[in-house]
Amino acid sequence: MHYRILGGTGIEVSAHCLGTMMFGAAGNSDHDECVRIIHAALDQGINFVDTADMYSAGESEEIVGKALRGRRDDIVLATKVHFRMGEGPNRSGNSRRWIVKEVEESLKRLQTDWIDLYQVHRPDHTTDIEETLSTLTDLVHQGKIRAFGCSTFPAEEIVEAHHVAERRGLMRFRTEQPPYSLLARGIETSVLPVCRRLGMGVLTWSPLASGFLTGRYRKGQPIDLTTGRAALTPARFDPALPVNVTKLNIVEQLMEVADGIGCSLPDLAVAFTVAHPGVTSVIIGPRTMNQLEALLKGASLTLDDATLDRIDEIVPPGTNAYQPDGAWRPPALTDTARRRRPLADRSAA
């Protein structure tokens, strides 16, 4: 396993990061098996583990905490805060009130005194970014976290956060965690270049495009929308929808590329994301031991220029074949009041 420096932190992390979103009620509820999967990943040289408070409502963090007993000093541990945890107001977001409370809960679940990388899971336009950065800076000074980053932030908000930190004398985001795959290359346009200019580490999620690049879903073959991932989000896999027709057509072309170089489609997908110079580590999120073993089997795959050129022909750089599920959408698009003047003020004359 190769290791890379995480942004400007000086911390060395493996080129594969073990994602644990599928550990717990949302995926694999067998804690003992999940612990064995984590240990197997560590034994193969992965030293970077990523989780979040909201994964299975804290259960994922609890599993990670169990798995890291006796091995904590050797592991770079990352978790996240933002999404709702429980009922009632003030139990989500990026406010000082919530972050200060929730970091303590994460520390308890993870059974540790510190978090190496604490990430803001999504933007929060109800909270001033200075408030968030100030809180995270305080947590570093208190020794509860070592560094902090953001996840699925658009390039302009990364730049704004950097300038606010500089003006106010605060610590800044050291990392960004965006979606990135053969089917979702949108971050190549601005997010990755901005992160490189600012010296930020990048750990990407969903290299298999939420399962679409596993090779399980093929053009002309029936897709069972009642089981697995397809049952949870049928619109993501329904072959009757135009966006999925596009994805299926691309998958067929990518399968030809994979066959041509003698690898599997998942191997091609993960190796593609690892190859980008702006990417520090790629999050792989297995649910079972077999899935972990299959993903690690392709860790040594190197894609040559001819292969990458062919991929560029199929999915042009900087383009998305679909909008990555779970990615953040700005209020400027979701809130109609931000796109429409009052009725009396909509005409030019």
Rounded-to-integer distance, Cα 82 and Cα 101, Å: 12
pLDDT at 276: 97
User: Are 213 and 183 contacting, i.e. CB atoms less than 8 angstroms apart?
Assistant: yes
Which residues are CB-contacts of 347 (< 8 A; sequence separation ≥ 6)?
Answer: none
> Is 269 domain-assigned?
yes
| Tens place of pLDDT per residue across the chain (349 aa) | 999 999 999 999 999 999 999 999 999 999 999 999 999 999 999 999 999 999 999 999 999 999 999 999 999 999 999 999 999 999 999 999 999 999 999 999 999 999 999 999 999 999 999 999 999 999 999 999 999 999 999 999 999 999 999 999 999 999 999 999 999 999 999 999 999 999 999 999 999 998 899 988 888 888 887 776 777 778 888 888 999 999 999 999 999 999 999 999 999 999 999 999 999 999 999 999 999 999 999 899 999 999 999 999 999 999 999 988 778 888 888 889 989 999 999 999 9
Q: Helices 96-110 and 59-67, interaxial angle, to 10°?
A: 40
Q: Which of 273, 302, 292 is nearest to 44 (CA)?
A: 292
Rounded-to-integer distance, Cα 101 and Cα 113, Å: 15
Domain containing 193 — which CATH number? Answer: 3.20.20.100
What range defines the domain where residue 28 resides?
Answer: 3-339
SS (H, E, C) the chain: CCEEECCCCCCEEECEEEECCCECCCCECCHHHHHHHHHHHHHCCCCEEECCCCHHHHHHHHHHHHHCCCCHHHCEEEEEECCCCCCCCCCCCCCHHHHHHHHHHHHHHHCCCCEEEEEECCCCCCCCHHHHHHHHHHHHHCCCEEEEEEECCCHHHHHHHHHHHHHHCCCCCCEEECECECCECHHHCCHHHHHHHCCCEEEEECCCHHHCCCCCCCCCCCCCCCCHHHHHCHHHCCCCCHHHHHHHHHHHHHHHHHHHHCCCHHHHHHHHHHCCCCCCEEEECCCCHHHHHHHHHCCCCCCCHHHHHHHHHHCCCCCECCCCCCCCCCHHHHCHHHCCCCHHHCCCC
Token representation of residue 211: 């399962």
Question: Distances from the Cα of 142 to the Cαs of 53, 79, 103, 145, 176, in angstroms?
Answer: 20, 17, 12, 8, 23
Question: Distances from the Cα of 290 to the Cαs of 37, 39, 211, 323, in angstroms?
Answer: 9, 14, 15, 29
pLDDT at 219: 86
Sign of CA dihedral 165, 167, 168, 170: positive
Domain count, the chain: 1
| Burial degree of 276 (CB within 10 A; 0-12, 13-18, 19+) | middle
> Is 29 domain-assigned?
yes
> Tokens 């989500």 correspond to what residue?
92
> Is 90 domain-assigned?
yes
> Based on C-alpha coordinates, what's the Rg of the chain?
20
> Is 312 domain-assigned?
yes
Number of residues written out for the chain: 349
> Is 346 domain-assigned?
no
User: Are 299 and 284 contacting, i.e. CB atoms less than 8 angstroms apart?
Assistant: no
Rounded-to-integer distance, Cα 279 and Cα 281, Å: 6
> Tokens 């619109």 correspond to what residue?
235
> Is 54 domain-assigned?
yes
Condensed to tens digits (0 to 9), the pLDDT of residues 245-304 reads 999 999 999 999 999 999 999 999 999 999 999 999 999 999 999 999 999 998 999 999
Alpha carbon dihedral 201, 39, 270, 82, in 10-degree steps, equals -50
Mean pLDDT of the chain: 95
> Is 345 domain-assigned?
no
> Is 277 domain-assigned?
yes
pLDDT at 84: 96
Neighbours of 290 (CB within 10 A): 10
pLDDT at 158: 98
Residues known to be catalytic: 55
